[in-house]
Amino acid sequence: MTETMTMAKALNEGMRAALARDSRVLLMGEDIGPLGGVFRVTEGLQAEFGDKRVLDTPLAESGIVGTAIGLAMSGFRPVCEIQFDGFIFPGFDQITSQLAKLTARHEGTLTMPVVIRVPYGGHIGAVEHHQESPEAYFAHTPGLRLLSPATPHDAYWMIQEAIASNDPVMFFEPKSRYWQKGEVDRESAGIATHSSRVVREGTEVTLVGHGAIVSMLLQAAELAAEEGTSVEVVDLRSLSPIDFDPIVASAQKTGRVVVVQEAPGNVSVGSEVAATVAERAFYSLEAPVLRVSGYDTPFPPAKLESVYLPSVDRILDAVDRALAY
């Protein structure tokens, strides 16, 4: 049986289930208690589980991540909320130099089941530091796993997958999708760990993306279909590790791949997808793998975000260029 809910609610329900299942699961972050977080994703959870399970923390991201590490050492499974993408950086040292490495430094005797939730991406017209896509820094860091759901159903299951992981997971939530509704099946078997997924089948061009971009890819595929082009769409869902098999299989079928992301394109997750497709599907390719990304500039003032971010037009332009080879 499925229910219709927003992604924010699906995440809330996923965390509620994890909190109920395991008393060692804790939530911590700025304004996540009575306010329920600035996006209300933790709404009602402190009231239900108490302030010893849902911690409104002091205003310090290094403090949040650093103490989450210590809590994990004492056997807890902390789920941290970072308020906005652009505010993760005060915690960067604790994430990349500590959290990511402690299991290796303990030669496997210590697990680090810490989840760091990061609302990310643009399309909300917000001020500086509130619309960024910093996932590449973390995908580049050995020792971290990265997930990013695109639908409420995936969000419900993937947040639970993240909390169940014994490794640190950076969980990137596409904030512009928080209020989009979708069907969630809470009785399904969940989804395979770190799996990408073909969300629309096609034969001529493959579009690959993650998070908020996925719905844009589906829109582009729809428009391309009207023009007679058959487009396949793959949702990455996991940014580290990347589940390449479905992407490579799709590339072998269509021969043309366009990777789309909001983040700046230079040395990005999309670069990695492009390189791997080139390595593994070289003889099937009819065109070079193309990237459509945010420009390599700071995220601009909001009135320019529609120019900066990939758009359906820019995606279709890349589809045309791929077809023209």
Ligand X SMILES: Cc1ncc(C[n+]2csc(CCOP(=O)(O)OP(=O)(O)O)c2C)c(N)n1
Summarize as ranges the residues that interact with other proteins (CB under 8 A): 30-31, 33-36, 38, 56-60, 62-63, 86-87, 89-90, 125-129, 266, 295-298, 300-305, 307-308, 313-314, 317
Q: In Å, how far from its chain's centre is CA 93?
A: 21
CB nearer to ligand X: give 60 or 225: 60
Q: Compute the least distance from the CB of residue 38 to ligand X, in Å.
A: 8
Token pair belonging to 52: 């010893």
CB nearer to other proteins: give 137 or 295: 295
Q: Compute the least distance from the CB of residue 269 to ligand X, in Å.
A: 24
81 contacts which partner out of ligand X, other proteins, none, CB within 5 to 8 A by kind? none
156 contacts which partner out of other proteins, ligand X, none, CB within 5 to 8 A by kind? none
CB nearer to ligand X: give 63 or 288: 63
Cβ partners under 8 Å of residue 176, min gap 6: 121, 122, 123, 124, 212
CB nearer to ligand X: give 178 or 244: 178
185 contacts which partner out of ligand X, other proteins, none, CB within 5 to 8 A by kind? none
164 contacts which partner out of ligand X, other proteins, none, CB within 5 to 8 A by kind? none
Closest residue to ligand X, judged by C-beta, is 87
Task: Please confirm, yes or no, whether 130 is among the known catalytic residues.
Answer: yes
**Which residues make up the interface to ligand X (CB under 6 A)?**
30, 59, 61, 83, 87, 90
297 contacts which partner out of ligand X, other proteins, none, CB within 5 to 8 A by kind? other proteins
Could you tell me if 291 and 259 are in contact, meaning their C-beta atoms sit under 8 angstroms apart? yes
Q: How many residues does the chain have?
A: 325
Cβ partners under 8 Å of residue 295, min gap 6: 264, 265, 308
Q: What is the DSSP letter of 300?
A: P
Q: Compute the least distance from the CB of residue 168 to ligand X, in Å.
A: 20
Q: How many CB atoms are located within 10 Å of the residue 230 CB?
A: 14
Q: Which amino acid would we find at residue 77? A: R
Q: Compute the least distance from the CB of residue 226 to other proteins, in Å.
A: 18
**Strand spans (E) along 7-143:** 25-29, 54-56, 77-81, 115-120
At 24 the three-state DSSP class reads coil
Rounded to a whole number, what is the largest CA-CA distance in the chain?
Answer: 60
Cβ partners under 8 Å of residue 56, min gap 6: 29, 30, 31, 32, 33, 34, 46
Report the C-alpha gap between 201 and 198 in whole angstroms: 7
CB nearer to other proteins: give 86 or 182: 86
Catalytic pick from 106, 123, 129, 130? 130
Q: Compute the least distance from the CB of residue 78 to other proteins, in Å.
A: 17
The residues annotated with a catalytic role in the active site are 130
